[in-house]
Amino acid sequence: MSAAAPILQLDGITKKFGGFTALSDVHFTVEEKVIHAVIGPNGAGKTTLFNVISGMFGAEAGSLLFKGENIDRAKPHKRANMGIARTFQNIRLFEDLSVLENVQVSQHGRHFPSIWSAVRHAIFHAPFSRGAQEIEMEDYAMELLEFLGIAHARDTNAADLAFGERRLVEIARALAANPAIMLLDEPAAGMNPSETENLDEILTRLRDEKGITILLVEHDMNLVMGLSDYVTVLNFGEKIAEGAPEAVQSDPDVIAAYLGTDEEI
C-alpha cells in the first residue's frame, strides 16, 4: 500500500462491559479513500467499535491511531473536529431544528477554534449581521443538501421528515464537518430498494468525487459486497476474516459465523 500512514489504525482494541467482552484484541487498518465495510452477525461488536472510534467510550486496552496520531485520549468533540464524523444506527437528528440547522450544527467546531473567538462572535457579530463566514457556511450546507437531493426540505423540522430523508440528513450533517473519514452505522436499514440504490450511488460518489474514506457497518449484503473495497468481519468481538469482498464471502470461517458449522447442526 501507499507510504503514508493509514487513515485509521486499530491496535489491539479491547472493550468490556462488566464481564462481557464486546471487542477482543481487534487489529485492523483502514486505508485512505476506500469504502471499508465491517460486517458480522448481531452482537459481533460493530456498533461498539464505532463508539470506541468516535470516543463515546474508551477502550480497556489497545490504541487508536488517526492519520498516524494517537487519539486514545481525545474527547468526542475533538475527534469530530479532527475529521471523524459518524451517523447512528437509530437516527439521532435534532428534532426541533430545521434540516439546514441540523447540518450546520456540525460546522460549529470547525468555525470556533477558541472560546475567545466564540465570545467575540456572540458579542460583536451576532447581533448585527451575518458575517461572510456565516454565508459561506450556509452555502456549503446547501451544497451538501443538494448533493444528497434533500435541498427542498431545508426549512422543515427534522421531526417532520420521511424516514429515508432522515438518513440522508444524518449523512449531510456528518459531511458538513468536512470529515476525512465517515463512520456509517447501518445507513441502509429501513430503506426500500430504490432508496438503497440511491445510497449506493451517493457513497460511491463521496469516495470518488470528495475523496472521503467510509467505514461502513451494514447488514444488507448486496450493498456491502457491491460497494466495498475491503471487508473486515467480526464475530463475538473478534476479527475472524478480512480482505476483498469476494475473498471474504467464500471464507469458511465467515460462512460458519453466519450460518453455523456442521457440528453445531
Residues lying near another protein in the complex (CB under 8 A) are found at 54-56, 75-77, 80-81, 85-86, 88, 92, 94-97, 101, 104-112, 115, 118-119, 121-122, 126-127, 134, 137, 173-174, 177
Q: Which residue has the cell 477502550?
A: 59
Closest distance to another protein from the beta carbon of 107 (Å): 8
Closest distance to another protein from the beta carbon of 105 (Å): 4
Q: How far is CA 31 from CA 8, 37, 105, 206, 253, in A?
A: 7, 12, 28, 15, 24
Q: By CB neighbour count within 10 A (0-12 exposed, 13-18 middle, 19+ buried), where does 123 fall?
A: exposed
Task: Name the residue nearer to another protein (CB basis): 160 or 197.
Answer: 160
Closest distance to another protein from the beta carbon of 219 (Å): 22
Q: How far is CA 136 from CA 73, 132, 184, in A?
A: 32, 6, 26
Closest listed residue to residue 64, CA positions, set 92, 29, 36: 29
Report the amino acid identity of residue 133.
Q
Q: Which residue has the cell 487513515?
A: 7
Closest distance to another protein from the beta carbon of 243 (Å): 30
Closest distance to another protein from the beta carbon of 257 (Å): 29
Task: Name the residue nearer to another protein (CB basis): 172 or 223.
Answer: 172
Q: How far is CA 226 from CA 30, 78, 195, 200, 204, in A?
A: 18, 33, 15, 9, 10
